[in-house]
Structure formats: C-alpha cells, structure tokens
Amino acid sequence: MSDCLFCKIIAGDIPTEKIYEDAEVLAFHDIRAQAPHHFLVIPKKHIASLNTADDAILIGKLSLTASKIAKDLCFADEGYRVVMNCNANGGQTVYHIHLHCLGGRALSWPPG
Ligand code: 5GP
Ligand code: ZN
C-alpha cells in the first residue's frame, strides 16, 4: 500500500468529503479550511510536486476543475484563489501534487 496520504484518499482508505471526481482528478474539502470555501484538486496519478510534473494537460486540468467547481458552488464571480505550494519554502506538506482553491472571503496579498 502507498505511504502517500492523498493516494490513500484516492483509494478510499481514508474517508474524505469529495466534491468532484472523474478518471483523472479528484477534488475534496481541505480538512483545515482557511476560507469559507477551501478545497484541493489532485491528480489520481501520483506526482510528488510541481518540480516532478511533466503532464501539461493534467496540470492544466487541475486549474480548470477548480474553476468549474467554483462556478458550480456560485463563488466564482466574486473571486477566489488557486495556489500550488512546492517544496519546503513553498509550504508544501503533502508530497502528492495538489491545487488549493480558496474563496468565500477577501484574501490578502502577498501571502506571508
Ligand atoms: P500543502 O501544505 O501541502 O500545500 O497542503 C496540504 C493540505 O492538505 C493542507 O491544507 C491540509 O489541511 C490538507 N490535509 C492534510 N491532511 C488531510 C486529510 O487527511 N484530509 C484532507 N481532506 N485534507 C488534508
Ligand atoms: Zn500520492
């Protein structure tokens, strides 16, 4: 069995609140939401980080999936943020690539 937390979520070994799923990607609520809307979009294929990603279509699909969900949940027009943390200085803690989508409140910039 994989040691990767998000591979375990994909396999159904760890329960999660799924929002969207197809053959290539899964979206689910972040367990420690930092905004009224905060979900993660991940590829079903294990990719550790943006540094080891090479599938442009799949990486692009993460963003378009986030946008589709934001529209479906009716917070796209007021705005939202998508962000991908990479490695230690980027704040990455789970080494299965994931796109954060945050919305439902005004977000400050730049991040700390
Ligand atoms: P990172 O810091 O790697 O960019 O983001 C990892 C995210 O995964 C964090 O926002 C964290 O709250 C979330 N997370 C960690 N463990 C779990 C879990 O077991 N379930 C869910 N739904 N989210 C998790
Ligand atoms: Zn994984």
In this prediction the pTM is 0.98
Domain for residue 109, yes or no? no
Please name which ligand lies nearest the alpha carbon of 100.
1
Number of structural domains the chain divides into: 1
Nearest CA to ligand 1 atom 18: 31
- The residue assigned the tokens 């159904």 is 12
The rounded Å distance from CA 30 to ligand 1 centre is: 6
Q: Which domain holds residue 85?
A: 5-103
Non-local (6+) Cβ contacts of 93 within 8 A are 85
- Confirm whether 49 is domain-assigned: yes
Instruction: Give the pLDDT confidence of 12-59 residue by residue, as tens digits.
Output: 999 999 999 999 999 999 999 999 999 999 999 999 999 999 999 999
Question: Would residue 108 count as lying in a domain?
Answer: no
Instruction: For residue 3, give the 3-state DSSP assignment.
Output: coil
Q: Is 98 known to be catalytic?
A: yes
Read off the pLDDT of residues 49-90 as tens digits, 9 standing for 90 and up: 999 999 999 999 999 999 999 999 999 999 999 999 999 999
Q: What is the CATH number of the domain that holds 38?
A: 3.30.428.10
| Cβ < 6 A, ligand 1 pocket | 5, 14, 16, 28-32, 85, 91-94
Domain contains 110: no
